[in-house]
Structure 1
């Protein structure tokens, strides 16, 4: 098992961060990592997500929404071909940091027998998370 977690402080309310994060149609305009998300924002429903880590190839996958708790947490779980090969539980957590700011946590728990072989890909993924976090911060802090 492998876990990646990143965090950033955003000078905007959790409600504003949530509104931008969950406005799937606008992701291509600001998000350098998750290029598109399509589908229902409902627990149990499937999304269509296209990601492209920096200096990596793009990938489309169809995760299931596990948590969609307004202004708090958005979580999905995806898999490569079949469960147990290479699975990822991706999450975004928002916490009120006071003074109108939000602590944004962005991570993923990877499992499956291919995880041990994916070291380079996981490093690129972490950089992608960090680039997305910075872009979300810029987008949220605009007037």
Structure 2
């Protein structure tokens, strides 16, 4: 059985305004003080991303923009992020599968 985990957020603004904020890398610090991004949001471009968690160590990675559709979607991925996302996805998958198994056991025990 295939399971999919998705998340979403509603932003009370038109897509054009959200896009303008999303690709305005010079001003990321105004809404995300833990992240700096340099580069151009063009498909095929390489970005430089600095992550600065509070009390943590700064990390820098250089993902490639894999998809850029104005006012709709900006996607980037790099070797570092790919490994991080794969680890996160595996952890979430394990957690979700554990929850489903617990629900199934509970349903069987209740019948």
Give the TM-score normalised by the residue count of structure 1: 0.51
Say which SS state the counterpart of residue 17 (structure 2) adopts. Answer: helix
Structure with greater strand share of residues: 1
Aligned Cα root-mean-square deviation (Å): 2.9
Aligned partner of residue 20 in structure 1, secondary structure: helix
Whether the 8 Å CA contact 2:47–2:64 is kept in 1: the answer is yes
Task: Provide the C-alpha distance between the structure 2 equivalents of 1:28 and 1:48, rounded to a whole number of angstroms.
Answer: 15
Quote the Cα distance in structure 2 between the aligned partners of 1:46 and 1:26.
Answer: 18
Q: Which runs of 5+ in 2 are unaligned?
A: 92-111
Give the secondary structure class of the aligned counterpart of 1:60: strand
Q: Tell me whether 1:41 sits opposite 2:36 in the alignment.
A: no
Larger Rg: 2
Q: Which has the higher helix share?
A: 2
Aligned in 2, Cα 1:26/1:57: closer, same or farther, shift over 3 Å?
same
Larger RCO, structures 1/2 (Cα 8 Å, 6+ apart): 1
Structure 1 residue runs of 5 or longer lacking an equivalent are: 81-85, 89-108, 120-143
SS in 1 for 2:71: coil
Residues paired across the two proteins, number: 87
What residue number does 2:14 align with? 13
TM-score (norm 2): 0.64
